[in-house]
């Protein structure tokens, strides 16, 4: 079990919390707060550094993350549904307006789809969610 040290708030006032890397759905970078946001199914946590750095570190630690646009790194192992119309990855099969999602840049979509098919050939492709 590999852990990542993060904070529950932007300023770090809550101290350090350790989360399992396997629970991470995606990482996103917020320029307005200059933080990397670490998304799990239930929460959003914060860390410092660059998205490229964390993508590289996690991949070199045996995980499958992919920079899918300038602001998002997707945990390929967690994707359940892929929407080719809107270029979005979902982390659950029952999609609702509150479902967490990760936007994929159009020019990277086919590369991401190919990687996902290698990891999970039965991934659900659903148009226009």
**How deeply is 76 buried, as exposed, middle or buried, from its count of CB atoms within 10 A (0-12, 13-18, 19+)?**
buried
pLDDT for the residue 117:
92
Could you tell me the CA-to-CA distances from 94 to 63, 100, 116 in Å, in that order? 25, 11, 19
Tens-place pLDDT, residues 67-107: 999 999 999 999 999 999 999 999 999 999 999 999 999 99
- Which residue, 68, 64, 70, is CA-closest to 120? 64
Whether pTM > 0.75 for this model: the answer is yes
Q: pLDDT tens digit string along 11-23?
A: 999 999 999 999 9
pLDDT at 125: 86
Domains of the chain (ranges, CATH numbers): 3-125 (2.40.50.1020)
Taking the mean position of all CA atoms in its chain, how far away is CA 76?
8
């Amino acid at each position: 079990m590999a852990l990542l040290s993060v904070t529950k708030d932007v300023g770090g006032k809550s101290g350090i919390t350790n989360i399992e890397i396997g629970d991470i759905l995606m990482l996103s970078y917020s320029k307005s707060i200059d933080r990397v946001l670490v998304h799990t199914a239930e929460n959003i946590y914060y860390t410092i550094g660059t998205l490229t750095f964390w993508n590289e570190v996690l991949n070199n630690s045996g995980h499958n993350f992919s920079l899918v646009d300038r602001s998002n790194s997707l945990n390929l192992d967690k994707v359940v549904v892929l929407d080719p119309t809107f270029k979005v990855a979902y982390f659950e099969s029952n999609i609702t307006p509150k479902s967490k999602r990760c936007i994929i840049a159009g020019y990277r979509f086919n590369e991401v789809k190919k990687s996902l098919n290698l990891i999970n050939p039965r991934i659900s492709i659903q148009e226009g969610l």
